[in-house]
Structure 1
Amino acid sequence: MNIKEAKEEILHTIQIYTRKDAHGQYLMPSVRQRPVLLIGPPGIGKTAIMEQIARECGIGLTAYTITHHTRQSAVGLPVIVKRNYQGHEYSITEYTMSEIIASVYETIEKTSCKEGILFIDEINCVSETLVPTMLQFLQNKTFGTHPVPAGWIIVAAGNPIEYNKSAREFDIVTLDRVKRIDVEPDLAVWKEYAWAKGIHPAILSYLSLHNDRFYHVENTASGVHFVTARGWEDLSSILYGYEDLGFSPDASLILQYLQEPEAARDFAGYYALYAKYRQDYQIPQLLSGRLSEEEFQNRCNLVQQASTDEKISVAGLLLDGWNSFFQKFQKEDQFTTTLHETLKQIRTSLLRGETLDEIILQRKQALKVRAENHLISSEEYDQADQITEILENCLIETRRERAASTDAVLDILRDALSDAVDSRKTAAARTSLALEHGYRFASEAFEDGPELLFLTSDLGHNPKAVQFISIFGCEPYFHYSEQLMFQEKRKSLLREIENHS
């Protein structure tokens, strides 16, 4: 399965393992709660989904790369203790608590999350001295003599042996005690993640032209050559950094991330052309309606005379331009929704007799704890911080107006919500216009060519786009989506005919 399906499967597993009866006891006994074993190539997002799952479930996360550990840190150190057996005192060896298990308890203390995920990465690449410990861990949920706390789900990850010389196969006894999930790279799923993360548009349009370059590992006489999803994401970050500082990325830089010489050279050439197209077509101005009709038509004519690769690049520029509008709307939409929910909670607290300054202080303390324990994303933190700032401004306003009653305080808070609603409406209107301008340009420039279907297909891979269009609509998108579905159905039928002929 792909990484998105694997994430969904783990989410379901956690929900099932953590169900409780009326007395607060776990319905599934610990012995039946098989550890999840993720097996997949390096760099496809196994670690990233653990962080996402922990945030979405509101549970703790303790993560370890086991290859960095010795037997002592995993099992604990031996200590001599005195024990009395049948009237005789003996010196025996016991072990201190494993560093890994201790870290789980520290996470529980810091986050107050009694349930969580213990994630062990590269579990099939441990040293020979740790192999028995890892097998015991998967089979019995213990490190040394110390069990993983109740309510904590074990997830382990490893690479197939063809990707890692240090990797080893597990025996049947161990495999029969785990919930194994095999994960494969999937470009379509990665694109959904990429649009959400803001991966550089040059990378996305390049991979649309060269699907086979997304993930590649090959052993050659000169060594291992590889390109991974992690490599593309890290390359995206460095490209943005170079652009911000006015530096020029070249093939030698790209080879540091795409460690396959031919792919690095090819992408370097494509990136140079993409940067030129970005200057030539001025897509942000086009989508905002800031181009004159003459300038608009000139760019349509330019596309009509362009090569297929250039047309796909222009489609990529349109997708990136649209994505900036979708991001702004989603930010306004999420902020408005969160502010509305926050004000409802504050209203309840005010009616209970709490003061606004007490509520603000509680919010600040809770936000600090969540941030220190990595239970909140940077976007969520910024949003929460912005809401706190609004509340503080409201507090200043209540003091200035001497608004002592709960109703007077709530009126001031409602004014703040009204401003957020207006900002959301403005962002929605601008995004709808950008879709209108972009599709008008695409239909005239591509002249009903396949690039229009490519544009619509990739737009459908963008979760922000799908969410916006489902709310506000977009007739051209629906029109070309129907064409796309018809063509895909036709191709499927032709394949079936060929298979039976």
Structure 2
Amino acid sequence: MSITPLLSGRHGIGKTAILKDIARDLGGTVITIEGGTLKEGEITGLPYQYQAPDGSIAFKFLPYYAVDRIQRQERALFESLHGARTQGDQLDGSENRYSMNDIDPQDKINFLLSGVVKPVIVLIDEINRTENTVYRELMNILLTKEVNGYRFPWWVFFVGAMNPSTQNSAYATNEMDPAQLDRFLKLKVGTDVDEWLEYGDAEGIDPSILSFVRENPACLVDNLRELEDEEKVSPSPRGWDMVDTILSSESMLRSFFSDAENDAAVVREDMKQLVSAKLGSTVAAMYFASLVAQEKPLDPSDVLGSNLSLAEMESRLVAMSVAKRVQTCNLLLGHLKDNVGFMRLDASGFKRTKKRLSSFVSALDPSTKLLFAQKVAGATSNEGENLLELFYDVFERDLISALDLSDQTRRAIEAE
């Protein structure tokens, strides 16, 4: 699975500098597309960066066949592995015969580490400060790695950058909806005074400036909330797929990092940060806690089926931590919402289910029991029926009386 990073942070915080450092370490280059300056119809080919007559770095789009550097590198790499091709058998229309995008991931890593391939990082900056038509074009390039039918070679990496676009943001931006954001790995870039001072020293910033910031760290950036990205992250199936790619790729990428950076504790913290960026800090914390937990929550089949005897189920619940009991309750609630309609088709089976559920509830501690009852009271089945009305006799009367139920639910329970 290909992952496209999206850097989010206030202006001037160093998003571009981060990418330039990465490219420099790999002997590559960064091409920056200023999204906010583009007009409709300007994206007519590949991004091309060159030195203007006045010495400044200029940028424009060119037809793919005119970007010599990309084609030369693709052909040289191809021929080093497959032998030379005839002069007339180079590029035909929009088909890129030298791309080799399907080679093994480990081969790609080896090419980058050996310097055979010099990566190109294409940064599309201010992606959310563009005209709507340009925004759609740039989003398509970021996510498909294609432009006008031309698919970029694998060693061209795309990164998006944006200013915070939440409702209270001070920036004039186009707000991305959750479906769009879910296609990226959004990384929030913040400030760290010590890291900036280290950067400033390496870049030769005037010592008087460094000294002032060291003595007055609050003067490095304005701490206005309106300049921060306060958007909440939520999990999704696509997000878990992306997390699987991140975690399974970590061991392959260690050659790019130092021994200190590959320290187990550092790697663990880095992975937590990346998973939090994709799924949210709460889900990430639960996931990593589950990796080291000795105990596991009960499966709904353990509670309602015949996998465990009632005594075994109660014994495991009593020995379980509160967090695992709550997790068991959540799994059970989801199962009941999805399957209670089928359960009721078998009257005798449904009676046995309610008996086991009653034993389960009785074995819970008072706080978890009340929490579970509250969740059941607020839940409905896939058929639209209130679960507490279906399972009211599972809970003690005094517990039900403590719940904040609607008059309709209370009448339905009392009518039974």
Q: TM-score normalised to the size of structure 1? A: 0.31
Q: TM-score normalised to the size of structure 2? A: 0.36
Q: Which has the higher helix share?
A: 1
